[in-house]
Chains A and B, each alone.
Chain A
Amino acid sequence: DVKVTQSSRYLVKRTGEKVFLECVQDMDHENMFWYRQDPGLGLRLIYFSYDVKMKEKGDIPEGYSVSREKKERFSLILESASTNQTSMYLCASRPLGTKNTGELFFGEGSRLTVL
């Protein structure tokens, strides 16, 4: 089975802290995604990575950066956390061979609270 693992299920950070959210997938998928989920807003794309070292901004990239040094790992970085970044963060992956038609495989999410 495809497994997408997010390093932390729950995090509590203080305003101004640097936050790292890690995501690892074990199925050699090229595409990886970071979404943010908020009530009433659904899932909004923060960043997308086509492949190693390749990234594309999503709909809400402000305040976030990403790193994809290895194919299996996609990290989301909050350089200076703010209270409006309190949210559920979801990582997902997808194989390139599906030509954009394939379903996403999601991790269990990381619920971040910024105080």
Chain B
Amino acid sequence: AQKVTQAQTEISVVEKEDVTLDCVYETRDTTYYLFWYKQPPSGELVFLIRRNSFDEQNEISGRYSWNFQKSTSSFNFTITASQVVDSAVYFCALSLYSSASKIIFGSGTRLSIRP
């Protein structure tokens, strides 16, 4: 069975601190995709990044970076120098290449950035 675990329910940090959101996944499929989405207070989930199971290169996009490690089945997300606008709920998700509809979401981490 597939599963995505985001153990951190809520995180609160002061602005400019770095923060890491953890994501651990389970699947027996060899081809899969991992995603991070951001859900701001407006409610609409916004795509942040996709990683396929064959590409373990870490990625950096501005203040955001992602660390994908197949050995530990983790796909962690770090925000450097956090800002108030980063406050949102963040979801990690797993998509199986073998199934069009099978997209498993984690329970989400609510991130609050205090001024």
Interface residues of chain A, those whose CB is within 8 Å of chain B, are: 9, 31, 33, 35, 40-45, 48, 50, 56, 58, 88, 90, 92, 99-109, 111
Contacts and interface: CB of A to CB of B under 8 A. Distances in A.
Contact of A101 (B33, B37, B108): B33
B105 interface: yes
Contacts, number: 64
A104 B47 contact: yes
Contacts of A99: 97
A26 B49 CA distance: 22
Contact of A56 (B37, B95, B96, B101): B101
A103 B100 contact: no
Interface residues on B, range: 20 to 34
19 contacts: A41-B107, A42-B4, A42-B6, A42-B105, A42-B107, A43-B93, A44-B105, A90-B45, A99-B97, A100-B33, A100-B99, A101-B50, A101-B97, A103-B37, A103-B50, A104-B47, A106-B37, A106-B45, A108-B44
Interface string B33-52: 10101000011111100101
